[in-house]
Amino acid sequence: MPSGNIPASSSLANVRYEIRGRLARRAHEMERLGYEVISLNIGNPGAYGFRTPETMRLAMIENLALSEGYCHQKGIFPAREAVVMQQQDRGVMDVTAEDVFVGNGVSELIDLVLRALLEHGDEVLVPSPDYPLWTAAVTLNGGRAVHYPCRPENGFEPDAEELSSLVTHRTRAIVVINPNNPTGAVYSRPTLEGIARLAEKRGLVVLSDEIYDGMTYDDAEFVPMATLVHDTLCGTLSGLSKVYRACGYRVGWAAFSGTREKAQAYLQGLELLSSLRLCSNVPGQWAVQTALGGYQSIRDLVSPGGRLHQSRQAIIDAVARSKYLGLTAPRGAMYAFLHVKQEQLPEFDDQAFAMDLLENRHVLVAPGVSFNTPYRNHFRITNLPDPETLRTVFERIEEELDSQSPGKAGGKGSLRAVR
């Protein structure tokens, strides 16, 4: 007889996505009560006034009449061909439109590329810290995420030799997130070459998440992974959400290069999964060709004087003034992964701090453990707000940290008024 209770599937037992979890739900409750919360937990450009380029909106509008039916399961040809052209411009010459899969954002494709690959118990090497959807998707598809460390003391870059020691007979793939979310690291060419050679030597699939490929600062060089991987399969994942400020369009792609002739069964399986969901959002796909072939306005935003560059600098300057905070300056993406100096606050806990900061100062951040870290003294913010808003944020962070320092009373758990 039914008990009356409807439990969640046991497959969700080890699945976490705290970026939109308990803290975000509490922030929503507070907003419904009338409190103004500065939300820095999600990289959502539209929430901070960034607009999708006008040419992309027009391309979508002008093709609405062609968007009312299903398209090919891999996506419309102009979008896939635009991805091919981008890859060729980067020197990846062995990609055709048949090797490109368009999805409802990179998020859907992360699930599909792993579902087509993994048997129960297979292992995938995932960076720590990571974008937690990668770990969750490995788990949901019956695999085991083995986290390879990207240590703060190494500028959050991985060590290929250390990564090699984690490979077993069950390892199927290596995930690379570059430029990195959450740390803002942009991996050096030697680091990426080391990962490529390891993958080729051990016959591992490389899955390279490059959604922030156009977001680099100062002298950072973005090196596409597909230009380095030749003797194994390489899947490059990117999309419109971040560089082109079009998160709501839900358009991403996976382009496969390298030894595709040895991966036909896998790619056919991926096409089968693509067919089962019929197709991805059609209207947004019409913006891809214009986006990739048009003026790259992201360069204005990340160059000196651009808004993202200025906001990043505001974060760096605020950390330099702080008694408690430290930072490896982000070289790419739209985040800063801050740490609290444990000599100043030896009992600091990132999750408890994030809740206190929300309750007491009305600022929402993502604690470091959300990104599968073994340490508890980091948290992530986005640099999407303008510099003035970020200065206010850091005043509140400093006040909260000051209230938690040894010998000082804090207002934990209270909804105190903020400036």
Specify the CATH number for the domain of residue 358.
Answer: 3.90.1150.10
**What is the rounded distance in angstroms from the CA atom of residue 184 to the CA atom of residue 93?**
29
Q: Based on the domain organization, do 62 and 22 belong to the same domain?
A: no
Judgement on whether residues 14 and 69 belong to the same structural domain of the protein: no
Question: Buried (b) or exposed (e) across 350-360, using 16+ Cβ within 10 A?
Answer: bbebbbbbbbb
Whether 307 and 375 map to the same domain: the answer is: yes
> Of 276, 293, 310, at which residue does a domain stop?
293
Q: What is the pLDDT of residues 278-288, one digit of tens each?
A: 999 999 999 99
Under the banding of pLDDT at 50, 70 and 90, the label for residue 15 is confident
Question: What's the pLDDT score for residue 1?
Answer: 47
Any domain includes 210: yes
Same domain, 161 and 94: yes
Provide the pLDDT for residue 417: 39
Query: Could you tell me the pTM of the whole model?
Result: 0.93
| For residue 389, pLDDT beyond 50 | yes
User: What confidence category does residue 2 fall into, taking pLDDT thresholds of 50, 70 and 90?
Assistant: low
Q: Is residue 135 part of a domain?
A: yes
Do 24 and 158 reside in the same domain of the chain? no
156 assigned to some structural domain: yes
Residue 411 lies in a domain: no
Residues 316 and 372 in one domain: yes
Give the CATH number for residue 127. Answer: 3.40.640.10
- pLDDT, mean over the chain: 94
Q: Give the pLDDT confidence score for residue 325 in this predicted structure.
A: 97
pLDDT band at 419 (very low <50, low <70, confident <90, very high): very low
Whether residues 90 and 227 fall in one domain = yes
**Total count of domains within the chain:** 2
Does residue 416 have a pLDDT over 50? no
- Whole-number pLDDT of residue 3: 66
Mean pLDDT of 13-22: 81
Same domain, 71 and 96: yes
Instruction: Name the residue type at position 269.
Output: G
Instruction: Examine residue 414 and state whether it is found in any structural domain, yes or no.
Output: no
In a domain, 378, yes or no: yes
Given a cut of 60, is residue 41 above it in pLDDT? yes
Give the domain-ending residue among 230, 259, 293.
Answer: 293
- Domain stops at, among 267, 293, 319: 293
Listed residue (41, 16, 14, 15) closest to 26, CA to CA: 41
Handedness of CA 189, 190, 191, 196 (dihedral sign): positive
Number of C-beta neighbours around residue 275 at 10 A? 12
> What's the rounded mean pLDDT across residues 75-97?
96
Residue 33 lies in a domain: yes
| Residues 44 and 66 grouped into a single domain | no
User: Within this chain, do residues 161 and 62 fall inside the same structural domain, yes or no?
Assistant: yes
Q: Is residue 116 part of a domain?
A: yes
Spatial neighbors of 129 by CB under 8 A, at least 6 apart, are: 150, 156, 182, 183, 337, 368, 371, 372, 373, 378
Looking at the DSSP bridge assignments, the partners of residue 338 are 327, 379
Burial class (CB in 10 A: 0-12, 13-18, 19+), 3: exposed
- 377 and 238 in a single domain? The answer is no
Are residues 276 and 339 both part of a single domain?
no
Task: Report the C-alpha gap between 323 and 200 in whole angstroms.
Answer: 46
Domain housing 321:
10-51+300-404
